[in-house]
Amino acid sequence: MAELVYDKTGRLLFTKEMKKEYTILVPQMLPDHFAMLVRIIQNEGYKVEMLGNTGKPVIDAGQKYVHNDACYPAVLVIGQLINAVQSGKYDPHKVALVITQTGGGCRASNYIHMLRKALEKAGLSYVPVISINLSGLEHNPGFQLTLGILRKAVFAILYGDLIMNVGNQVRPYEVNPGETDRVAAECVDFLLEGMAQGKGLSYKSMVKNFDRIIDRFKAIPVTGEEKVRVGVVGEIYVKYAPLGNNNLNEFLLSEGAEPVVPGLLDFVLFKIYNRDVDVDLYGGKWIKQAVCRFLLRYMKRYQHALIDALKRSDRFRAPGDFDELHSYIKGYLGDGNKMGEGWLLTAEMLELIHTGVPNIVCTQPFGCLPNHIVGKGMIRKLKDDYPWSNIVAIDYDPGATKINQENRIKLMLANARGLAKEHAAQEAESQQAREAEPAAV
């Protein structure tokens, strides 16, 4: 067994010996994206597993070992990790836990400290915790975020966003149930096989892979009926994680709706942009701003390639780019509003409204003050400016009942279908009026 090693502050380190023996457990957020990220890390010689444990035992573990004032995502993430270690599936002396750390003002930056405290409370203080961060907050001799891993992670985000985008546009209409999920899994497999061989990691090969993914999804037989489109926004974990939003996507599909979920790349660009703007707002080193602007240009180029691929398809709707998204927020929120999802959340609602998706579910986790301000707090303003918008804020917390959440969404969908019929009737009247007009001489 690997010897436990601590740093000068008393923090338990993940050592090089542990890399050979330990299984690293990863909490789930985005199924397609994280599946690729986990496989990328596995290919670097680590034993990694993405968790799939869900349900009341996870929530119970989170409530037992996390302070009841913590935000709901903290309860779920830490509860999922603790529940997995205690499940009996793993040797608790041969597992390590991984968690992201942004270093920003969100309480998510403190999850790692809350997790270590929870492990101590559960009698598991010998389990090492690995911080995934780009701020130099913590280092571990046995786990390194190399440039190779980071480069592949960027491509995983791009490929994951594309698979999620086209998958959501096909899944509600598939003739053969489950075919979309099968094609998505096949795409993840060929992408990862290519990455392992060093393929698909250049701009040119990425564009070819975009077209290849789109062609796979275009080949799926679909019905012609058009369903109500429903946008999903909110705090990043609850927006994406099925565990966090009670399988919201599946519920929308079961109710005959088409989910429209903004991609992860905009959130990444938002975080880089914030570092750039910080220098203008609060001061800082010019070199930091220069690096951030270089990264923004680099990532935007790849985003434009993804958007262009969707436009070339003549089948799938393409989202706007980051600059267009940012333009929607003018007159609503300033660039300094960046805690949590900041202005991005409001901008995503505005983008959905402007692109024909006025029906929106805003996921509101307990304890996330920034999300309530830029989410629920902006809904009245948006409805005043866009009366046809149909937005519902759904609270997610340990005490919220799934039936109550689903009933509120059903009410929103009923309203959406009523508005759609009203709009169709108005269009028909307008068409009849145009046809009845005498031809111009």
Residue 441: the pLDDT is: 45
Q: By the 8 A CB rule, do 171 and 229 touch? A: no
Name the pTM for this structure: 0.91
Q: Would you give the DSSP letter of residue 373?
A: I
Of 108, 63, 72, nearest to 394 (Cα)?
72
What fold, for 229-261+337-441? Rossmann fold (3.40.50)
Between the CA of residue 430 and those of 212, 354, 422, 423, 425, what are the distances in Å? 42, 22, 12, 11, 9
Q: By the 8 A CB rule, do 213 and 166 touch? A: yes
What fold, for 16-145? Rossmann fold (3.40.50)
Residue 202 token pair: 């250049």
Q: How high does pLDDT run on average in the chain?
A: 90
Give me the torsion for CA of 348, 154, 41, 166, rounded to 10°: 60
Residue 396 token pair: 């997610």
Between the CA of residue 138 and those of 103, 116, 133, 144, 412, what are the distances in Å? 11, 14, 8, 11, 44
Residues 6+ apart with CB under 8 A from 390: 358, 359, 360, 412, 415, 416, 419
Phi, psi of 439 (to 5 degrees): -65, 145
Please write the tens of the pLDDT for every residue from 118-137: 999 999 999 999 988 766 67
Where do the domains of the chain lie? 16-145, 229-261+337-441
CA-to-CA distance for 134 and 44, rounded, in angstroms?
A: 19
On the question of pLDDT at 304 being above 90, the answer is: yes
Please write the tens of the pLDDT for every residue from 38-89: 888 988 889 999 998 988 999 999 999 998 888 899 999 999 999 999 999 9
402-429 average pLDDT score: 84
CA-to-CA distance for 41 and 46, rounded, in angstroms?
A: 6
Q: Would you give the DSSP letter of residue 140?
A: B
Please write the tens of the pLDDT for every residue from 248-296: 999 999 999 999 999 999 999 999 999 999 999 888 888 989 999 999 9
226-248 average pLDDT score: 93
Q: What is the number of other CB atoms lying within 10 angstroms of the CB of residue 385?
A: 12
Q: Is 348 helix (H, G, I), strand (E, B) or coil?
A: helix
